[in-house]
Every structure is written in C-alpha cells, then in structure tokens.
C-alpha cells in the first residue's frame, strides 16, 4: 500500500539486540515523535525516563521478572503516566489539584500509550527493534522508588530499544472481521473467528518452536483472564494518588 503501512505491518517484538549503541540524537528524535502524538486536552501526561545507570538497569530487569534484555538492550525507556506535571502547572496558577479520578487515570494511561506507539514507529523506521515491558507492573512500587517517581506518576510500561540481532516472524492476529464491526458490537461469528485464529496461531507457534509449543489463543486467554493478574495494582495506584474514586 505504501512504505509506512509496510513498516507498521512488519512489527515484531525484538528481544535480542546487537552491541551497537543508539545515539542520543536518535533517542531525542524518537521521543520528540512521541510528543507529536495527539494528547487529550493537550495534557501531555507522558514522562519518559531513560535509564542509563547499569545498576538500575540490572535491578529493573530483575523487577520485571528476570527479562535480561531489559539490561542488555542498547536503550531502556520507562514510560510514566504523569499527572504530577499538570498538578505543578495547576498550582503555579494558584489552583488546587483534584486527585485520583478514574477519568484522569484513563486519559493519562491512553496518552502514554499513544506517545509510546509513535516512539515505536519512529524507532522501527530507523532500523531499531523494540520490546514493550509490561513486567514493570510486577513490582511497580519498587520501580517507582528506584526512579524517584512522585505521587500522581506511575510506570505504565518499559521499552527496550536497540539494533535487532534476531529476525522473528510477524505474529498472526485475529481475523479482521472479528475485530472490525459495523454499527453494533453484535457479531454472531465471533466464536468461529476465534476458532479460525486458534488453528492459525497453533501452526505459527509450532513452526516457530520446531513443534515444542503446542498452544492456541483461547488456551492462552484462559490462562490470562481466568485468574486475577497483578492484584497489587489496585492498592499501588491508590497509594500513588490514583484513587479511582
């Protein structure tokens, strides 16, 4: 269709990087692209912390569940949802910050994700590979302490960046007809869409692992949403000032 669409459709997570450094100039350009994304009411709730310190990187790799590419990638960025800066601005104008509302939490989280995805597209256009690290939410309080995050700031995810030292296949997705609906959610073919995808991704996993991984999407979803995930997040966010009242 065009080069940008080719780029977007060729995304895959990279977990193995060469030793090649990424220049500061590129990182500045990438984060500027993140800033260029739309921002709800121009709140600009994204703060990016680049972690260069090797001890902190090693600790973050551990906190994220032992994902060693968190320390081995050329660059590691922590994307934070930041309502502290709007608070500061509000107080500079003599206002009182009204904390912890669900809506502001949604706005800040979505803002960060829009900015991060722009960073990813920019990085991939420059030949870099990336991997999002949701595992920072395994131990969010320790991450917050390590990075000195003030209240009203939480780490949404991390991002590894570097020059790829692997070339994995693109992961197949659900059929378009299952995720794109018209006028109404109702779609009696959702189950058959999942069934088609289950077969498709089972073949993909088998081929990728030489037959070792024999699993499908619905089995993975059973493992994922059949139990509570990171149950500490509620309390953590409350302590951070996102009280969800």
Does 63 bind a second copy (CB under 8 A)? Our answer is no
As a whole number of angstroms, the distance between CA 165 and CA 14 comes to 8
Q: How many residues does the chain have?
A: 245
Are 2 and 25 in contact, with CB atoms under 8 Å apart?
no
How far is CA 195 from each of CA 166, 181, 186, 187, 214, rounded to the nearest angstrom?
30, 18, 17, 14, 15
Kindly tell me which of 72 and 205 has the beta carbon lying closer to a second copy: 205
Q: Which stretch binds a second copy (CB under 8 A): 15-23, 63-71, 101-109, 206-214?
A: 101-109
Paired tokens of 44? 């600009």
Distance, CA of 66 to CA of 58 (rounded, Å): 9
Do residues 46 and 34 touch, judged by C-beta distance below 8 A? yes
**Should residue 5 be labelled a site residue for a second copy when binding is judged by CB under 8 A?**
yes
CB of residue 18 vs a second copy: minimum separation in angstroms?
20
State the angle between helix axes of 190-208 and 217-225 in degrees (0 to 180), rounded to the nearest 10.
100
Angstrom distances, CA of residue 69 to CA of 3, 98, 105, 153: 29, 39, 29, 25
Is 37 a residue that touches a second copy (CB under 8 A)?
Answer: yes
Task: Output 33 or 72, the one with its CB closest to a second copy.
Answer: 33
- Nearer to a second copy among residue 68 and residue 171 (C-beta): 171
| Among 134, 189, 209, 213, contact with a second copy (rule: CB under 8 A) | 134
Report the C-alpha gap between 76 and 132 in whole angstroms.
10
* Contact (CB, 8 A) for 175 and 193: yes
Q: Cβ closer to a second copy: 27 or 63?
A: 27
Instruction: Name the one range near a second copy by CB under 8 A: 15-23, 61-69, 120-128, 161-169.
Output: 120-128
Q: Does 51 bind a second copy (CB under 8 A)?
A: yes
Q: Is 13 in the site for a second copy (CB under 8 A)?
A: yes
Choice from 20, 36, 168, 213 touching a second copy (CB under 8 A)? 36
Encoded tokens for 42: 């121009």
**168 counts as binding a second copy under rule CB under 8 A:** no
Span interacting with a second copy, options 64-72, 111-119, 161-169, 206-214, rule CB under 8 A: 111-119
Under rule CB under 8 A, residue 98 binds a second copy: yes
- Residues 172-211 touching a second copy, rule: CB under 8 A, are 173-174, 176, 178-186, 190-191, 194
Rule CB under 8 A: say whether 96 interacts with a second copy: yes
């Amino acid at each position: 269709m065009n080069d940008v669409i080719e780029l977007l459709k060729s995304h895959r997570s990279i977990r193995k990087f060469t030793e090649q450094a990424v220049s500061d100039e590129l990182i500045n350009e990438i984060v500027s692209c993140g800033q260029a994304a739309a921002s709800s009411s121009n709140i600009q709730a994204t703060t990016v912390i680049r972690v260069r310190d090797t001890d902190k990187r090693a600790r973050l790799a551990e906190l994220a569940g032992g994902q060693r590419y968190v320390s081995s990638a050329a660059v590691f960025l922590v994307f934070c949802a930041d309502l502290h800066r709007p608070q500061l601005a509000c107080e500079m104008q003599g206002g009182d910050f009204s904390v912890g509302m669900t809506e502001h939490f949604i706005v800040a989280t979505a803002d960060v994700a829009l900015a991060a995805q722009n960073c990813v597209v920019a990085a991939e256009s420059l030949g870099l590979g990336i991997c999002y690290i949701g595992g920072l939410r395994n131990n969010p309080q320790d991450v917050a302490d390590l990075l000195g995050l003030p209240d009203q700031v939480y780490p949404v995810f991390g991002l590894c960046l570097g020059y790829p030292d692997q070339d994995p296949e693109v992961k197949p997705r659900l059929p378009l007809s299952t995720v794109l609906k018209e006028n109404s959610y109702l779609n009696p073919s959702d189950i058959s869409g999942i069934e088609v995808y289950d077969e498709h991704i089972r073949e993909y996993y088998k081929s990728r692992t030489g037959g070792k991984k024999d699993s499908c999407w619905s089995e993975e979803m059973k493992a994922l949403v059949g139990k509570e995930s990171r149950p500490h997040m509620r309390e953590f966010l409350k302590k951070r000032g996102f009280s969800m009242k």
